[in-house]
């Protein structure tokens, strides 16, 4: 689930949690280090990661830099994503092979999964399957997640059926949803392949199935291929595999980067990092793209609030009404919502101040049902 962070008087702000999965030596811990600069071990042997690692990562957003001169705040607070890195899964994990299956419970309440798939060759980094084959590797992990869900859901279904027989209507609905999902899992398909209506989807979330979560495949390529990852046959094959899950079109997104290169970039000073990226022909670190993709994966947008104390980015689902978005900032704002003064971030940055933007007629007044747009800057008027 989306976790919450509350201060007194505030409702829950969305805190996006992402679980990192993949085979051992696929580059999961190296990626985690690049994201968090946490320096967790990332050695070239299986099961280096034993205990799950957790890191909270700010989402780089140049819009905050553009808005900072408008507000001149004491602090700037970006949106964040929490990553959880668990031990690598191996073939047979659902039957107790390896260590990864022991830690799946740490990511069952994650909002989405990043599935790291090895597309790089390195004789010094062993492969548990003996060779590099991105599609085979992805299939192994995906199947182990299906089997783990199958075992979990079978137990839950038994309990739900018993409760339904006792007259529990909620349990009866959840049991019916579980039956539909079981059919897919028993056929080796992920739970996300089953279309559900709004009520059924709500019940499915209580089942905490790994394969119901949105997934992003991260193709971990060679350092030399970081500037043009699409040239990698492994990346192309992985994209075809992802499309095949949706009948040839769409499917889970695939993002390619070099985790090792990203980890090296994370250790550099900002100026050196820019020079290194320019030398590689890259415009930004790949982890920045990953962080934005994590928000897109769950259909989240970002809006901004600001004053001389704090300029802050907030994430909410696309289509969130203004009053509810105001409640993410502070519960009093939703309860006493009167109106929101809204302006796209680029217009406010160009105007230089709210006063100048109002003079130009760029600030709109919106009601409580206005669907907040990505990049909106909101000034909420409310009664206490």
Q: How far apart are the first and last CA of the chain?
A: 31
Task: With respect to residue 156, please indicate whether it lies within any of the assigned structural domains.
Answer: no
Identify which of 119, 142, 92, 131 has the alpha carbon closest to the alpha carbon of residue 26.
119
| Tokens coding 282 | 């890259």
pLDDT higher than threshold 90 for residue 378? yes
Cβ(249)–Cβ(243) under 8 Å?
Answer: yes
pLDDT higher than threshold 60 for residue 190? yes
pLDDT higher than threshold 80 for residue 19? yes
| Domain harbouring 328, CATH code | 3.10.20.30
> Do 286 and 343 share a structural domain?
no
Task: With respect to residue 137, please indicate whether it lies within any of the assigned structural domains.
Answer: no
Give the number of domains in the chain.
2
> Do 341 and 225 share a structural domain?
no
Task: With respect to residue 40, please indicate whether it lies within any of the assigned structural domains.
Answer: yes
Handedness of CA 193, 194, 200, 206 (dihedral sign): negative
Q: Tell me the per-residue pLDDT of 66-108, one tens digit each, with 9 for 90 and over.
A: 999 999 999 999 998 889 887 777 676 556 554 445 667 878 8
| Contact residues for 243 (Cβ-Cβ < 8 A; gap 6+) | 249, 250, 251
Identify which of 117, 129, 126, 48 has the alpha carbon closest to the alpha carbon of residue 91.
129
Which residue has tokens 């599935």? 115
Cα(51)–Cα(275) distance, integer angstroms: 36
> Do 335 and 247 share a structural domain?
no
* Domain range enclosing 333: 319-382
The pLDDT value given to residue 95: 61
Cβ(140)–Cβ(23) under 8 Å?
Answer: yes
Task: With respect to residue 13, please indicate whether it lies within any of the assigned structural domains.
Answer: yes
> Do 257 and 121 share a structural domain?
yes
Q: Tell me the per-residue pLDDT of 52-69, one tens digit each, with 9 for 90 and over.
A: 688 888 888 999 999 999
Q: Tell me the per-residue pLDDT of 131-154, one tens digit each, with 9 for 90 and over.
A: 889 999 999 999 999 999 999 999
Mean pLDDT, rounded, for 113-128? 88
Least confident of 88-97, 105-114, 282-291: 88-97
> Do 249 and 335 share a structural domain?
no
Triad 204, 180, 247: Cα angle to 5° = 95
| Domain harbouring 265, CATH code | 3.40.50.300
pLDDT higher than threshold 70 for residue 246? yes
> Do 245 and 119 share a structural domain?
yes
pLDDT higher than threshold 70 for residue 264? yes
The pLDDT value given to residue 48: 38
């Amino acid at each position: 689930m989306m976790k919450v962070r509350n201060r007194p008087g505030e409702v829950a702000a969305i805190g996006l949690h992402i679980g990192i999965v993949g085979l051992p030596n696929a580059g999961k811990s190296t990626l985690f280090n690049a994201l968090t600069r946490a320096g967790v071990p990332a050695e070239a042997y299986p099961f280096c990661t034993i205990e799950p690692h957790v890191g909270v990562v700010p989402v780089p957003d140049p819009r905050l830099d553009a808005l900072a001169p408008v507000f001149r705040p004491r602090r700037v607070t970006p949106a964040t994503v929490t990553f959880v890195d668990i031990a690598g899964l191996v073939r047979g994990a659902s039957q107790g092979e390896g260590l990864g299956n022991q830690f799946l419970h740490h990511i069952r309440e994650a909002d989405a999964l990043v599935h790291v798939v090895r597309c790089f060759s390195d004789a010094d980094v062993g492969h548990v399957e003996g060779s590099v084959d991105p599609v085979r590797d992805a299939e192994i992990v995906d199947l182990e997640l299906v089997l783990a869900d199958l075992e979990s859901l079978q137990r839950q279904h038994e309990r739900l059926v018993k409760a339904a027989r006792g007259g529990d209507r909620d349990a009866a609905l959840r049991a019916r949803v579980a039956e539909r999902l079981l059919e897919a899992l028993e056929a080796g398909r992920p739970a996300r392949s089953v279309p559900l209506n709004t009520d059924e989807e709500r019940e499915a979330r209580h089942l905490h199935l790994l394969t119901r979560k949105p997934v992003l495949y991260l193709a971990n390529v060679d350092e030399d291929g970081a500037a043009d990852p699409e040239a990698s046959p492994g990346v192309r094959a992985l994209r075809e595999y992802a499309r095949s899950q949706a009948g040839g079109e769409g499917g889970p997104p695939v993002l390619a980067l070099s985790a090792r290169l990203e980890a090296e970039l994370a250790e550099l000073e900002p100026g050196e990092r820019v020079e290194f990226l320019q030398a590689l022909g890259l415009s930004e670190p790949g982890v920045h793209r990953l962080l934005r993709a994590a928000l897109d994966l769950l259909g989240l947008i970002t809006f901004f609030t600001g004053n001389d104390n704090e300029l802050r980015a907030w994430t909410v689902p696309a289509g969130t009404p203004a009053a509810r978005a105001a409640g993410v900032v502070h519960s009093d704002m939703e309860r006493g919502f009167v109106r929101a003064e809204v302006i796209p971030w680029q217009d406010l940055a160009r105007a230089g101040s709210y006063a100048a933007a109002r003079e130009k007629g760029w600030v709109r007044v919106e009601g409580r049902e206005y669907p907040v747009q990505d990049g909106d800057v909101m000034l909420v008027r409310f009664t206490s």
